[in-house]
Amino acid sequence: MATTLKPHGSPIAPSAALPRNPGMPLDMREVARIRVNRSAVERRAATLGTRRTVKKDWQAAWLVQAVRVIDLTTLQGDDTPANVKRLCAKARQPVRRDLLDAMDLGGRGITTGAVCVYHNLVATAVEALRGSAVPVAAVSTGFPAAQTPMDLKIEEIRRSVIAGAAEIDVVISREHVLGEDWKGLYDEVRAFREACGASHMKVILAVGELGNLRHVAQASHVAMQAGADFIKTSTGKEAVNATLANGLVMVRAIRDYFQETGHKVGFKPAGGIRAAKQALEWLILMKEELGEEWMQPHLFRIGASALLTDIERQLSHFVTGEYAAAHQLPMV
């Protein structure tokens, strides 16, 4: 019953080495025709987790997949090399080895999707993750409020790229969206993308500060047109962060963009995702709206930190049949 999403029009052969989204000229017609009905979106979001569920071995597999897409994150004023190194160690070995072995996954090299830090800790993280496949993501462009001069935002990206960040999580100026200045937003994200160079760009929309869901959809489209590799819900610092309703609007935009252009853009919800059950709901959202490919780390990430602890706890229960105490699992 598995189906793959196809772009409408000419079918595009799936390729292993995923080409990046090159973007396209700003398409105001597409932006103008967007309509989003909040109540209907919320109804769909509310029943995603009641219409689908995974149990037993399937649930364990999905939880491991959730681990694989976590951008293990710390974004605090008191971050230092000590806690960032610890975080990186956890990213390399996110689930206790005996648990993975028990699930026959010991040889799979299970890691988190990335480690995500502020610029000042990029070098530390890169060093700590050397030899692993785990990339370092840097939040950038005046994160989280984006209220810094444009030239400094560009410079911040460049510095993080130089420091070794393979992924840059940029944050947009909400002013462009609230003022419906789509050209301004497009130009901003385009400039970010240029500065990112070979590093992949995740564009944070800060959905909780965009006023309404139509703006969320419009900003998603403009960000993708401007060359986003991923679109991301939030910084985690807004009052409202990743909700399934916001996520639903964004993944529908990703689907539309793919079907119009054939370009695959990834999705990253971040902020407030703490429980294993939530992670499953987000995976269900991706499978239902976009298909299995969008459940993979190259197109899906979850920005989180505490989430990993809960997932590991659930996996421990799956393997042993009993619930583990927090101190029995290596801390983040």
Q: Is 212 in the site for other proteins (CB under 8 A)?
A: yes
Rank residues 71 and 289 by Cβ distance to other proteins and give the closer one: 289
Choosing from 79, 127, 180, 288, the residue that interacts with other proteins (CB under 8 A) is 288
Nearest approach, Cβ of 60 to other proteins (angstroms)? 5
Rank residues 56 and 327 by Cβ distance to other proteins and give the closer one: 56
Nearest approach, Cβ of 204 to other proteins (angstroms)? 22
Segment lying near other proteins (by CB under 8 A), choices 36-44, 69-77, 112-120, 234-242 = 36-44
Nearest approach, Cβ of 221 to other proteins (angstroms)? 13
Segment lying near other proteins (by CB under 8 A), choices 3-11, 153-161, 306-314, 323-331 = 3-11
Q: Which of residues 214-243 bind other proteins (CB under 8 A)?
A: 214
Task: Judge whether 330 and 96 are in contact, CB under 8 Å.
Answer: yes
Structure tokens at 119: 């610029």
Q: Which of residues 37-96 bind other proteins (CB under 8 A)?
A: 37-44, 47, 50-62, 64-65
Q: Is 153 in the site for other proteins (CB under 8 A)?
A: no
Nearest approach, Cβ of 165 to other proteins (angstroms)? 28
Query: Which element (helix H / strand E) includes 171?
Result: strand 167-171
Rank residues 108 and 130 by Cβ distance to other proteins and give the closer one: 108
End-to-end CA distance of the chain: 38
CA distances, 11 to each of 4, 30, 263 (Å): 11, 21, 12
3-class secondary-structure state, position 104: coil
Report how far residue 240's alpha carbon sits from residue 244's, in angstroms, rounded to the nearest whole number: 11
Catalytically active residues, by annotation: 169, 232, 268
Give one word for 324, left, alpha or beta, with left for phi > 0 and alpha for psi -120 to 50.
Answer: beta
Choosing from 122, 295, 299, 332, the residue that interacts with other proteins (CB under 8 A) is 295
| Residue 144 preceded by cis peptide, ω within 30 | yes
Choosing from 8, 97, 130, 183, the residue that interacts with other proteins (CB under 8 A) is 8
Q: Is 97 in the site for other proteins (CB under 8 A)?
A: no
What's the full length of the chain, in residues? Answer: 332
Q: Is 10 in the site for other proteins (CB under 8 A)?
A: no
Structure tokens at 95: 């689930």
CB under 8 Å to 50, separation ≥6 — which residues? none
Segment lying near other proteins (by CB under 8 A), choices 84-92, 189-197, 211-219, 262-270 = 211-219
Choosing from 35, 198, 239, 326, the residue that interacts with other proteins (CB under 8 A) is 35
Task: Judge whether 5 and 14 are in contact, CB under 8 Å.
Answer: no
Place of tokens 């489209």: 221
Count of beta carbons in the 10 Å neighbourhood of residue 57: 10
Segment lying near other proteins (by CB under 8 A), choices 13-21, 76-84, 185-193, 286-294 = 286-294
- Radius of gyration, alpha carbons of the chain: 19
User: Beta-strand (E) ranges in the chain?
Assistant: 70-73, 114-117, 136-139, 167-171, 200-204, 230-232, 266-268, 302-304
Report how far residue 178's alpha carbon sits from residue 158's, in angstroms, rounded to the nearest whole number: 27
State the residues that interact with other proteins by CB under 8 A: 1-3, 5, 8, 35-44, 47, 50-62, 64-65, 102-105, 108, 212-214, 252, 259, 283, 287-288, 292, 295
